[in-house]
Amino acid sequence: MNQEKLQRLIDAYFSQPERRVVIPAGETILEQGADNDRLYYVCSGELEGFYLEENGENQVKVFSASEGAFIGVHSFFSETLIASSTVVSKTESELSWIDSKTTAIELERYGPLTAQFTPIIVNELSRRQRRAMHESIEKEKALQKLYSAEQMTTLGQLAAGIAHELNNAVGVLSSKTERLQSIILELLEEIHPEASSFVDQGLIHGQNISSSEVRKRGRELEVSYGIDRDTARELARAVPEGELSQFWLKSPEQAVRYWNIGRDLHDMRLAARHSVGIVRSVKQLGRTDIDTDEILDVNDSINKALVLLQSDLRRVSVHLSPAAMPMVKASATELVQIWANIIKNASDAMEKVQEPEIEISTRVSNRFVLVTIANNGPEIDEATRRKIFQPNFTTKKGGLSFGLGLGLAIVKRILSGYGGSIAVKSNQDKTIFRIKLPVEDGHGKA
């Protein structure tokens, strides 16, 4: 409202000493449903308005009023002269007032009382509309929280049953892998002792070289030792650096064959251990108290995710550019879940891309670990980007995806639990996920 017009109204109608009153704290000025023929102007103090619902049980606070506010606008100007709410003085307050007998000042110049006070009436209506809108928004937020809580409760109940079944299966996988490993090593010692060293190397180290590095190393071995391309690439996986000894060159196909046995056992053990952590995480799907006591290297967790996704990434060129990183406080299983979900989604999205590529980089900035995962798959349109982290949203249909749409929603929930964030940017050339994780104070460089 124009301040000059407001000041004129105050000076003209609310400056008379005989129409001023001091109200002690706790005193009721207006009673809902009772007669009221006054319009009050708050000179000082603070008051509160309450509305008693129709059931007569719940009294809801509907507004606060302080210096410069008007009280009784609705009942006074609607001419019902019935208070629509109860108004109580929260602190000692000084009020000035006019009543239904008050006549308009300078009628010919400014019009009747109602016309002169129209800006105040409009302002009051606007205030009530804003209050109603705010209450509507808050109600919607509360309903959304309730809906999410119900979803998480149901998901937690389902997760408990799934976790029990998975735990049994993982237990069998873990114990049988250990037993199979022992039997294979014992048999090789008996019938082919020279093969044990190849199995051991695969068993201890696994494959820790990316697809692009395999191709580069393979070309080097092909040129240096005059071996065919396929064999050179297989040897590159087993011996990612250094010179090849005669030990490997004597019968490279057999050496790689035995190394593959060890590598597969290594991956099975890794998958079994990771599955135990996944089961633990599944149990926490309906909970908010996540155990994050481990001190971890983010680069190491990314490498573990890549190992678990080897079969999905066979046709994908993966480029990892890790920086020297500080340690973070988190759950190893949950970090692997994050990277595996994003990378698996990227791999699925590039199913029809001729030369699929995934670029992963890590760096540190302002006490945050920043991880960027980019792929050259099709663009994610804006409408999809807005919904991509919602629990029930999925673009996958049929197959083994089940259309649950939980992957990226879980990623966002995990990151939020750590005080981190995830954002996606997409165009026709690249889709990029940017992840931020806070670094715990006092954790030195890895």
Q: What is the 3-state secondary structure (H, E, C) of 191-203?
A: HCHHHHHHHHHHH
Higher pLDDT, 270 or 356: 356
DSSP track, 361-416 = EEEEETTEEEEEEEE-SPPPPHHHHHHTTSTT--S--STTTTT---HHHHHHHHHH
pLDDT band at 402 (very low <50, low <70, confident <90, very high): very low
- pLDDT tens sequence across 266-284: 888 888 877 776 676 566 5
Q: Note whether 162 and 275 are same-domain residues.
A: yes
CA-to-CA distance for 332 and 304, rounded, in angstroms? 10
Neighbours of 430 (CB within 10 A): 14
- Report the pLDDT value the prediction gives residue 93, as an integer from 0 to 100: 95
The CATH number of whichever domain residue 422 belongs to comes to 3.30.565.10
Q: Note whether 37 and 171 are same-domain residues.
A: no
Q: Note whether 98 and 150 are same-domain residues.
A: no
Mark which of 240, 259, 289 sits at the end of a domain: 289
List the structure tokens of 31: 């009673």
Q: Note whether 331 and 429 are same-domain residues.
A: yes
Buried b (16+ CB within 10 A) or exposed e, 60-77: eebbebeeebbbbbbbbb
Left, alpha or beta for 340 (phi > 0: left; psi -120 to 50: alpha)? alpha
- pLDDT tens sequence across 43-80: 999 999 998 887 777 888 888 889 988 999 888 888 88
Q: Note whether 441 and 299 are same-domain residues.
A: yes
Q: Determine the structural domain holding residue 238 and report its residue range.
A: 143-289
CA-to-CA distance for 423 and 405, rounded, in angstroms? 17
Return the amino acid letter for 33.
Answer: G
139-153, 204-218, 318-332: lowest mean pLDDT where? 139-153
Q: Note whether 176 and 275 are same-domain residues.
A: yes
The CATH number of whichever domain residue 53 belongs to comes to 2.60.120.10
22-31, 62-71, 271-280, 417-426: lowest mean pLDDT where? 271-280
33-47, 250-264, 386-400: lowest mean pLDDT where? 386-400
Question: Most confidently modeled of 59-63, 119-123, 215-219, 442-446?
Answer: 215-219
Radius of gyration of the chain (CA): 36
